[in-house]
Structure 1
Amino acid sequence: MRFTEQDYLAYVAAFNARDYKTLETFFADDFALENAGFKVQGKAAFREFYAFFHDYIRETVLFRGFYPG
């Protein structure tokens, strides 16, 4: 599947709004997110982790441009 600039803008808007229900529509049901040895597996774990994380950390994504290909 190829994502469009509108898809990326929607993802960034959902992330910055902490709209996890919309964010998870961009991922497969069994996706895994790994960072620095920490792993989140699946949509429920994603929601749980980020809801907890964003209680303590302010994180914002800035969209600077779309460069397909």
Structure 2
Amino acid sequence: MARCMQCGKELTHNEIGAHRKFINRGAEQFFCKQCLAEHLGVTPELIDEKIEQFKRQGCTLFV
């Protein structure tokens, strides 16, 4: 299982998808949701909202 490159937390499929969606589609290392939110200057809740929005649109990066 992949781990956050900043804090070492074990990552979910959606956290990996969020990193690929917001940072780099071809990434091999990833941020967890909390670290990604800090990196982007947004709240983790906004990332959750965007994940749900992309899922509704059919984005295959999310389950």
The structure having more radius of gyration, on CA atoms, is: 1
TM over 0.5: no
TM-score tier, shorter chain, comes to: 0.3 to 0.5
TM-score (norm 1): 0.36
Structure with the higher strand share, 1 or 2: 1
